[in-house]
Amino acid sequence: METKIVKRDGKEVLFSIDKIKDAISKAFIASGTFATEETLTAVLSHLRVRSGMGVEDIQNQVEVALMAEGYFQVAKNYMVYRYKHSEDRETLEKLNFLIDYCSASNAATGSKYDANANVEKKNIATLIGELPKSNYIRLNRRLLTNRIEKMFGKEVADKYINLLNTHVLYKNDETSLANYCASVTMYPWLLEGTKAIGGNAVAPTNLKAFCGGFVNMVFMVSSMLSGACATPEFLMYMNYFCEKEYGEDYYKRADEVVELSLKNRTIDKILTDCFQQVVYSINQPAGARNYQSVFWNISYYDRYYFESIFGDFRFPDGEKPHWDSLNWLQKRFMRWFNQERTRAVLTFPVETMALLSENGDVKDKEYADFTAQMYAEGHSFFTYMSDSADSLASCCRLRNEITDNGFSYTLGAGGVSTGSKSVLTINLNRAIQYAVRQGIAYQDYIEQVVDLMHKVQLAYDANLHELQKQGMLPLFDSGFVNLSRQYLTIGVNGLVEGAEFLGIKITDNDDYAHYVQEVLGIIEKKNKEYRTKDVMFNCEMIPAENVGVKHAKWDKEDGYVVPRECYNSYFYVVEDESLNVMDKFKLHGRRYVEHLTGGSALHCNLEEHLSQAQYRNLLRVAAQEGTNYFTFNIPNTVCNKCGHIDKRYLKACPECGSTDLDYLTRIIGYLKRISNFSEARQREAARRYYANQSKLGQAV
Ligand SMILES: [Zn+2]
């Protein structure tokens, strides 16, 4: 049988003994001697080469073999030769990358490792951020495999690298050293400002200090995370400072002039100016994040969620949060943000409305009506619906079980502090097809891979604890993020494509439901098996902004069945025109999302806005079907000529008639100009199917 080994770039090549002989001979010559055929045979007899092994691994063995045979000077020259080669190769790679990046059509297309549309324009600052990424990948891999070896042995570490190289597994955010995303509690900030995380700001004592300080705090926290920073308490805290400033009934006196300057600002004007300051500041490109803005998420709550999460909450001065004023402020912010988005392209915050369901409808009717109204007015946000307030979606997609909702005077509301430490993703389409090729049951193969994924995640976790021990993670030490409330996430991609390969129809039918439950059930089972009091696992259908494209490309190159250029992040096929809106709600309903403990949002693509009554009906549908996480996407139109932004999906600008238009839509969780998407993602966006009124389905 021929042996295939894996090159540094992940490509498999036929193993050639002559190449190794040649390199060893050169090292002998560089040492002033000559290797006879007997010498070479003796050295080579130490090597153990098997399929799937990496080039570096074999070179390491050669070094050991030379030393074992007593050729120490030759071994040294061989190492020097390797090192020089890798140095040359690296410089050349970087140079090529630099040339490609500068000539790419936009930043997301130019990025080689983790393209993302959150970078508006490519420039020298974004290039500086891109260049060291390959080194980070190498460093992160080494840190992780060293730890895996220590905890589970070399075989597990080798298997992991092999699964990465053969694209069964994908390690998300390998280009960053920081852990992934977090929903933070701002309580430590109220107690002692940003000192505990290395800042110099004291705790805010008034509204102005709150707004300015909040922006700084989010930037600081985000610089220590690789993913999103969610602040589910933002409006609740802001409300507290509004009350401090203008009295508990401030919202009843919103039109009152409270400023003595010539501007004569009312309470309402001052508050919307605060919104403006915070939102515009946070949407600025951030130096610490390679010139992309920070990913910022906030939450709104209906009355029942509010009571469940903040019922026992007390501010440091003993004050309770008040629902009536917060209710007003939440609505004010949402309406303001919807309006502001006709003035500027504002990506953040990603907003999630948390609604409690009961008896097939939203329990808080006032909030159900308001949510439907905001959708009808063209606002774009997520809704998270649950029949118990025991989980919360705080990131643009991450659903988290609230393990401890207690309040403490040092940490604030327990329920909001959560997130994901690390995401490791299985490419299900590849795994299933590989298993079928090998003649083994795909369920067994997936179980094997998923088991290994848990070991890898435990090793990641051990490294994180090590960092914390050395004082490198002040976010955790200071209580902004609670390490034991953060999940290790098993991501899935290619779920739909794997089913298509097996010949299963992607509609709401028993075969498909069985397949989804079976595959995700394997992960859920392992998540429970590996859970301890210190580590928790969840499962998420990852949004795969660039992984979806990469998986499709790699799988195609290796001869697997690949039905589309970008793997889906949904339970249905995005370009499928035969499914109506009801079908999609069903396909993201309880039958399918049951084991998806980390969440997956239905992105309901519509051609035009629905009425409030229609959205209200869809909220009922969601409550009945158990569709716990969804949003509606109606592309907004941006005129490139006059700058007009319209909430509708138009073919010509209503202001100037120009047809030079760009559209805003969600790439994954966040709203961006389509022209900022990577080229592959732009093609994917063009294939998305947007339903019209005739495709709503019966109940609507
Ligand atoms: Zn125009």
What is the chain's alpha carbon radius of gyration, rounded to the nearest angstrom? 27
- CA–centroid distance, 639 to ligand 1, in Å, is 5
- From the CA of 117, how far away is ligand 1's center (Å)? 24
| Cα 641 to ligand 1 centroid, rounded to whole Å | 5
Kind and range of the H or E element at 412? Answer: strand 412-413
Given a contact cutoff of 8 angstroms between Cβ atoms, the answer to whether 436 and 256 are in contact is no
Of the pLDDT bands very low, low, confident and very high (cuts 50, 70, 90), residue 253 is very high
- Helix then strand count (H, E) for the chain reads 25, 22
Distance 341 CA to ligand 1 centre (A): 16
Please state, for a pLDDT cut of 90, what percent of the chain lies above it.
Answer: 54
**Ligand 1 centroid distance, CA of 663 (Å):** 13
Ligand 1 mean position, distance from CA 343 (Å): 13
- Tell me, in angstroms, the distance from the centre of ligand 1 to residue 661's CA: 8
How far lies 227's CA from each of 3, 122, 181, 668, in Å? 40, 20, 4, 13
How far apart are the C-alpha atoms of 278 and 286, rounded to whole Å?
14
pLDDT at 397 over 50: no
Centroid of ligand 1 to alpha carbon of 673 (angstroms): 16
Q: Per residue in 472-508, pLDDT tens?
A: 888 888 888 888 888 899 999 999 999 999 999 999 9
pTM: 0.84
> In this predicted model, which residue has the larger pLDDT, 301 or 116?
301
Is the pLDDT at 662 greater than 80, yes or no? yes
646 CA from centroid of ligand 1 (Å):
10
Instruction: Give me ligand 1 centre to Cα 569, in Å.
Output: 33
Distance (angstroms) between ligand 1 centre and the Cα of 281 equals 27
Given this model, what pLDDT does residue 499 score?
98
**Percentage of the chain with pLDDT > 70?**
93
- Examine the pLDDT at 134 and tell me if it is beyond 90: no
Confidence of residue 105 (pLDDT cuts 50, 70, 90): confident
Span 53-91, pLDDT tens digits: 888 889 989 999 999 999 999 999 898 888 888 888 888
- C-alpha 557 to ligand 1 mean position (Å): 43
Average pLDDT over residues 576-587: 91
pLDDT tens readout for residues 503-533: 999 999 999 999 999 999 999 999 999 999 8
Closest CA to 600 of 624, 574, 625, 571: 571
**pLDDT value at residue 408:** 59
Residue 652 CA, ligand 1 centroid: distance in Å: 8
Q: Given this model, what pLDDT does residue 694 score?
A: 76
In this structure, the strands spanning 486-493 and 536-541 are parallel
Q: What are phi and psi of 202, to 5 degrees?
A: -85, 170
Q: How far is the CA of 121 from the centre of ligand 1 (A)?
A: 22
Round the average pLDDT of the chain to a whole number and report it.
88
- Ligand 1 centroid–CA 330 distance in Å is 32
Question: Residue 47, Cα to own-chain centre: how many angstroms?
Answer: 41
657 CA from centroid of ligand 1 (Å): 6
- Residue 662 CA to ligand 1 center (angstroms) comes to 11
Burial class (CB in 10 A: 0-12, 13-18, 19+), 520: buried
Q: Which of 164, 232, 553, 239 is nearest to 399 (CA)?
A: 232
- pLDDT for 396: 44
pLDDT of residue 97: 81
Higher local confidence (pLDDT), 449 or 15 = 449
pLDDT of residue 240: 97
Higher pLDDT: 257 or 545? It is 257
**Burial environment of residue 94 by CB neighbours within 10 A (0 to 12, 13 to 18, 19 or more):** middle
Q: How far is CA 435 from the centre of its chain?
A: 28
Compute the distance from residue 149 Cα to the ligand 1 centre, in Å.
Answer: 60
Residue 400 is predicted with a pLDDT of 57
pLDDT score recorded for residue 169: 97
609 CA → ligand 1 middle, Å: 21
Cα(319)–Cα(363) distance, integer angstroms: 27
Mean pLDDT of 165-184: 86
Sorted by sequence, the CB contacts under 8 Å of residue 9 that are 6+ apart come out as: none
In this predicted model, which residue has the larger pLDDT, 418 or 304?
A: 304
Q: Report how far ligand 1's centroid is from the alpha carbon of 653 (Å).
A: 5
CA of 296 to the centre of ligand 1 (A): 30
pLDDT of residue 406 exceeding 60, the answer is: no
Residue 156 clears pLDDT 90, i.e. is over it: yes
Q: What is the pLDDT of residue 195?
A: 87
**Ligand 1 mean position to 656 CA, how many Å?**
4
Token duo for residue 184: 């933070």
Residue 410 has pLDDT above 60, yes or no: no
For 216-238, write each residue's pLDDT tens digit.
Answer: 999 988 888 888 888 999 999 99
**pLDDT of 173:** 81
C-alpha of residue 339 to centroid of ligand 1, in Å: 18
How many A from CA of 378 to the centre of ligand 1?
19
Cα–Cα distance for residue pair 605/530, rounded to 1 Å: 37
pLDDT digits (tens, 9 = 90+) for 294-340: 889 999 999 999 998 888 899 999 999 999 999 999 999 999 999 99
Cα 659 to averaged position of ligand 1 atoms, centre (Å): 8
Q: 46 CA distance to ligand 1 centroid (A)?
A: 72
How do the domains of the chain map onto residue ranges? 1-89, 132-182+417-569, 185-414, 577-700
* Separation of CA 379 and ligand 1 centre (Å): 21
Q: How far is the CA of 607 from the centre of ligand 1 (A)?
A: 20
Which is more confidently placed, 655 or 125?
655
Contact 100, 110 (CB under 8 A): yes
